[in-house]
Structure formats: C-alpha cells, structure tokens
Amino acid sequence: MTSLKPFHAPDLFKANAVNLDVLTENYHISFYLSYLVHWPTLFFSTVNPSGDITGYLMGKTEGTGPEWHGHVTCVSVAANYRRIGLAGCLAENLERRSEDPYDAYFIDLFVRSTNTLAINMYKHWGYSVYRRVVDYYTGDPGMKSEDAFDMRKPLKRDVDRKSVRENGENVRVRPEEVYL
C-alpha cells in the first residue's frame, strides 16, 4: 500500500528513483528548498511500504483577485509506479489543499504542447487548455523552442467558471504576458 506524506528536506536524497527519470524536470536543490520554505503544505510525496519515494508533487499558490490559484510546478512518478493512479492522487491532494485553506479559484499547470500523453491525462482529471504560451520552453542554444499549454481546472470558488475557456489552444500569448 502506498502512503501520501509531506515532503521534507532529507527526502531530496531519497527521490533519486523519481528524479533520474528522463520525463522528470530536475531543479537545483535551492529551488526545492524554496518550495519547502514557502509552501510546505503543497509539497508532498507518495511512499511505498519500504519507505521509498515513488512520486512527488511540488505546488504553490500565486496570483491576486480572481487569478488567485494553486499551481502544479512538478508532478512526477517513478517509472515502476506509473499507471496505478499515484499522479492523480497527488493532484487531488493539491486541489484539496488549494481550496482549504488557500481558497483558490483554480489550479493551473504548464505542459509541452507536444506532450499528448500528459495533456490527455490532465484532461481526464478535469483540466482544459486555457491558452497556448508561444516559445515557453526554450532549449539549449541551437535547439528549437516549444509552446506550452496553460491548463486549468476550476475549483469550488470559481462558480462562474472564468478559469475555463473554449478553444484555449488557439489563444496565443507570449511568456512575458503570462506574468502580467
């Protein structure tokens, strides 16, 4: 049986099975630690009976007014533990915590517009594409940049469902417009 638990700084040394996977974005230790300091209740992991970390989600809250929301910075599950619902469990936990105590309007995340598998998974969880962020992912010099989809899922507070729009794939913005 897998358990859900808060992520703590020493867990960074136990997350190699997750972080060494090619599908996982890796960050500097200071980045992980900043999340643990600022949003400790929005950074959690799944753990198997042996105590091994099998997945984790880094989340935060940001925005103002009706743009106040929870954000999925990273959700990743070790290869041996995929397709059994752990990522969905992690995402649902962020949704609950973003509603209480943070009272967020929606949850958002960014995903490469070419990552069809992830996009379909997020749609299955109730997310929809709000907009396309052109050239959001920049590669190494000489590498082609990629667009991102800003995907959102409304929470209870968004009673008018303003975080949802039709044909979001066709609403194009530049990365600098996302942070206005």
| C-alpha–C-alpha distance, residues 64 and 144, integer Å | 33
Per mean pLDDT, which range of 18-32, 36-50, 110-124, 146-160 is the poorest? 18-32
- Structural element, H or E, at residue 111: strand 106-112
Q: How confident is the model at residue 23 (pLDDT cuts 50, 70, 90)?
A: low
- Closest alpha carbon to 17 in 45, 58, 42: 45
Q: pLDDT by residue (tens digit) across 148-160? A: 999 999 999 999 9
In the numeric block, which tokens belong to residue 141? 């010099």
Q: What is the domain count for the chain?
A: 1
**pTM of the complete model:** 0.91
- Output the domain CATH number for residue 60: 3.40.630.30
Please give the DSSP secondary-structure letter assigned to residue 145: P
Domain extent at residue 9: 3-178
What pLDDT, in 10s, does the model give residues 37-60? 999 999 999 999 999 999 999 999
Rounded Cα–Cα distance for residues 121 and 49 (Å): 26
| Strand pairing class (146-154; 172-173) | unpaired
